[in-house]
Amino acid sequence: MSNDEFETWLSLVGRLLGLSERQRKQIGAELRDHLESRVADLLESGMDKKTAVMQAVEEFGDAAVLAKNLQSVSLANRKRWMMRFMTLATAAMFLVAVLTMAMWPEKARFGSPSQSVAQQGEDPFGGANDSSADSNPFDKTAPQKSAVPARLASRTESNQRIRRQLNQPIDLVYDSEPFGDVVAQLAKDLQLNIVIDSNLDGVLDDATEVSANLAGLPLSDSLRVLLKAVDATYAIKNGLLMIISIDDENEPDYLARHMIDVRELLKVIKLTEADRIGKPIVSVRQGGGGIPGGGQGGGGGVFCITPQVADVESSESQLVQVVVPQELVTAEHLLVETITRVVSPDCWQVNGGGNCDLFCIGGVLVLVSHEAAAEEVQDFVKDLEFQIKNRKD
Amino acid sequence: MAKKVDKFESDLLRGSLDLMVLAVLDQEDQYGYIIQKKIREASGEKVSMSAGTMYPLLHRLEGEKLIRSRWDDSTGRRRKWYAITAAGRKRLTKQANQWNQYVQCMAGLMQGYYKPVPKLG
């Protein structure tokens, strides 16, 4: 069979295709097969060869149109392939990221052990802690820190979740809304368990209405303002947001434990050396009790290990040395003292005004207090650290 | 001289050529020339899909993974065979149902305007 006409026509299509050599060859082979099959059929029907070849080529139509259509399809297929590739690549990258996260060591995922000290406790504010291992005065204990629990206690986690929710800014706009409806709506919106304390029975009922127009404030502040109007406030205990009488706020049953990482602050409190946390700043006085200008506050102190000779008594037969412990002031002591004097002073047990208590241990401030006091202490710690770090000596 | 057959208008065919090709390939694997021939024969010469239309269509269906192809050199002539894929069969079933409903709908609407035609094939 003479293929001259085929070759001329196929060559024309090939030139018009503008595709790769491999694609041109494949398309050429497919079209040639079609043309040859068609010519064979026409010959079989009695047509002479020349006419059959001409007709077969003619039936294909315009070579330019065919080439353009094939080229369009090829480009569309390539785009489709690229889209599939991109989708697969994105999915693969996502999978790798998820697997990496899943296989990453727990400690590395949630920060170094030294950074997670406060997270092991109950930092209700999720404050960022940028203390690095290099500047961490507690580094000597690093090997022991690897044994810290991976998670907080479950009730602490639940309480933290509520506090995180309360930390979010929210708009509270109510115009004489029934108190029960407001509580139900908040519980639904925030996905929280809210209970009204039994001490409020008869105080808050269906007839109680609340009004508020508070925008952009953290929910904790808005809620406090809202509840104050009906002589109530809130407490967080055992994973519950409890609405309680404002008179009960300081009662031990409604106080909660809070923990605040203060290592950074302790480090920057005026010390003669960078790593003197826990070491004496200055010898205060002999005989115990208070700091300079500190009055009666204190509730215990830090004492020198080495006994000091405070007095000497003489008797007829022997000389007796009376050893008196010497109280010293540490950065922790100074911080606790300052907080109990300047932050909600009426709520602290040590001041004789309330049942809240405050300690500093391991670079963590441990409070037993109501929510408002804890928030104020947190703010104070942040502000103080800022002031000390940013002052110009 | 062969009797002239009134071919379907191209507007009428648009959108149904994919379905015709998939239906032919659902019966058995074929190569381009036979696909064209089978459609022409099945339609009583009323559907004459030119090769210039059919090959771009086959390549598009292949790109959409509705059909797949393989080359065969065993006969001494390099030939590209096409086969329907599972996705193509799924599409065929779906579109065949739509077409059946469409035909019934049109038959109802066009009743009284058309003459009965002899059964094809």
Question: B10-110 in CATH: which number?
Answer: 1.10.10.10
**Which residue is closest to B33 within chain A, CA to CA?**
A34
Predicted pLDDT of residue A128: 40
**pLDDT digits over A62-103, tens only?**
888 888 888 888 888 888 888 888 888 888 888 888 888 887
**B33 and A26: CB-CB below 8 Å?**
no
Residue B112 at interface with chain A, using a CB cutoff of 8 Å: no
Tokens 């058309």 -> residue: B114
B88 touches chain A (CB under 8 A): no
What is the distance between the alpha carbons of residues A19 and A68, in angstroms, rounded to a whole number? 11
Pairing of strands A194-196, A240-245: parallel
Subunit contact A76:B51, Cβ cutoff 8 A: no
Q: Which A residues, 315 through 354, put their C-beta within 8 Å of a C-beta on chain B? A: none
Do the beta carbons of residue B53 and residue B35 sit within 8 Å?
A: no
Average pLDDT, chain A: 74
Q: Does B7 touch chain A (CB under 8 A)?
A: no
Listed range (A42-56, A112-126, B68-82) with the worst mean pLDDT? A112-126
Q: What are phi and psi of A187, to 5 degrees?
A: -60, -40
Q: Is A1 within 8 Å of chain B by CB?
A: no
- Predicted local distance difference test score (pLDDT) of residue A169: 83
Interface A:B, Cβ pairs < 8 A = 65
The radius of gyration of chain A from alpha carbons, rounded to an integer in Å, stands at 40
How many CB atoms are closer than 10 A to CB A156? 18
Band (pLDDT 50/70/90 cuts) for residue A178 is: confident
Segment B36-45 shows an average pLDDT of 88
Give the lowest-confidence range in A88-102, A163-177, A183-197, A265-279.
A265-279
Instruction: Tell whether B28 is within 8 A of chain A (Cβ).
Output: no
Whether the pLDDT of residue A173 is over 50: the answer is yes
A36: contact with B, CB 8 A cutoff: yes
Residues linked to residue A311 through DSSP beta bridges, in sequence order: A322
> Which of A29, A34, A66 is nearest residue B33 as measured by Cβ atoms?
A34
pLDDT at A320: 62
Asked if residues A357 and A348 have their Cβ atoms less than 8 Å apart, the reply is yes
Residue A364: strand pairing partners: A261, A361
Confidence of residue A326 (pLDDT cuts 50, 70, 90): low
Q: Smallest CA–CA separation between A107 and chain B, in Å?
A: 47
Calpha distance A346→A342 (Å, rounded): 10
Predicted local distance difference test score (pLDDT) of residue A118: 38
Give A330: exposed, middle or buried? Use CB within 10 Å, 0-12, 13-18, 19+: buried
A-interface mutation test, from B18, B35, B79, most A Cβ less than 10 A away:
B79
The whole-chain average pLDDT of chain B stands at: 86
Query: Which one is predicted more confidently, A3 or A12?
Result: A12
Q: Is B46 on the interface with A (CB under 8 A)?
A: no
Q: Do residues B48 and A38 make contact, with C-beta atoms less than 8 angstroms apart?
A: no
Instruction: Say whether B52 and A66 touch across the interface (CB within 8 A).
Output: yes
Q: Do A74 and B32 touch (CB under 8 A)?
A: no
Spatial separation of the C-alpha atoms in residues A160 and A231, rounded to whole Å: 25
- Kindly list the residues from chain A whose CB atom is less than 8 angstroms away from the CB atom of residue B78: 29, 32-33
- Highest averaged pLDDT of the listed ranges A34-48, A54-68, A74-88: A34-48
pLDDT attached to residue B31: 94
pLDDT at site A323: 62
A108's tokens: 């590395």
Closest partner residue to A30 (CB to CB) among B32, B53, B60 is B32
Asked whether residue A311 carries a pLDDT value surpassing 80, the answer given is no
Side-by-side strand order, sheet with A357-361: A256-261, A364-369, A357-361
Cα dihedral: A226, A232, A236, A241 (round 10): -60
Whether the pLDDT of residue A134 is over 50: the answer is no
- Going by pLDDT thresholds of 50, 70 and 90, the confidence category of residue A188 is confident
One DSSP character per residue, A284-332 reads EEETS---TT-TT--SS-EE-SSPEEEEEEE-SS-EEEEEE-EEEE-HH
Nearest to A36 among B62, B77, B80 (CB): B77
Q: Would the pLDDT of A142 be above 80?
A: no
List the structure tokens of B24: 């032919």
Give the number of residues written for chain B.
Answer: 121
Write down the pLDDT at residue B68: 94
Q: What CATH number is given for A154-249 in this structure?
A: 3.55.50.30
The answer to whether B51 contacts A59, with C-beta atoms less than 8 Å apart, is: yes
E-strand stretches of chain A? 169-178, 194-196, 209-218, 232-237, 240-245, 256-261, 282-286, 302-303, 308-314, 319-324, 326-329, 357-361, 364-369
Greater confidence (A101 vs A327) lies with: A101
Closest CA relative to residue A357, chosen from A253, A240, A256, A247: A256
d(CA B58, CA B29): 13
- Specify the DSSP class assigned to residue A93: H
Distance in angstroms (rounded) separating the CA atoms of residues A197 and A99? 45
Domain boundaries, chain B: 10-110
Chain B contact present for A60, CB below 8 A: yes
Which residues does chain B have within 8 Å of residue A77's beta carbon, measured at their own beta carbons?
59-60, 62-63
Residue A29 contacts B, CB cutoff 8 Å = yes
Choose among A33, A61, A72: nearest Cβ to B31. Answer: A33
Cβ–Cβ contact A65 with B under 8 A:
yes
Q: CA angle, corner A377, sides to A372 and A379, nearest 5?
A: 95
Q: Which residues of B touch A38 (CB under 8 A)?
A: 33
Interface contact A37, partner B, CB < 8 A: yes
Q: How far is B97 from chain A (nearest CA, A)?
A: 27
Angle between helices B17-27 and B86-110 (to 10 degrees): 130
Tell me what pLDDT residue B83 has.
96
Which residues face A360 on adjacent strands?
Answer: A365
Inspect the interface and report whether the beta carbons of A33 and B78 lie closer than 8 Å.
Answer: yes
Q: Please check whether residue B64 touches A, CB under 8 A.
A: yes
Lowest-pLDDT range of A110-124, A179-193, B53-67, B77-91: A110-124
Per-residue pLDDT reduced to its tens digit, A251-286: 888 888 888 988 888 877 755 444 555 555 554 444
Domain boundaries, chain A: 4-82, 114-150+256-281+330-393, 154-249
How many angstroms separate the CA atoms of A342 and A348, rounded?
A: 11
Could you tell me the pLDDT band of residue B93, with boundaries at 50, 70 and 90?
A: very high
Check: pTM over 0.80? Answer yes or no: no
Return the pLDDT at A78: 81
**Which range (A85-94, A266-275, A359-368, A384-393) has the least confidence?**
A266-275
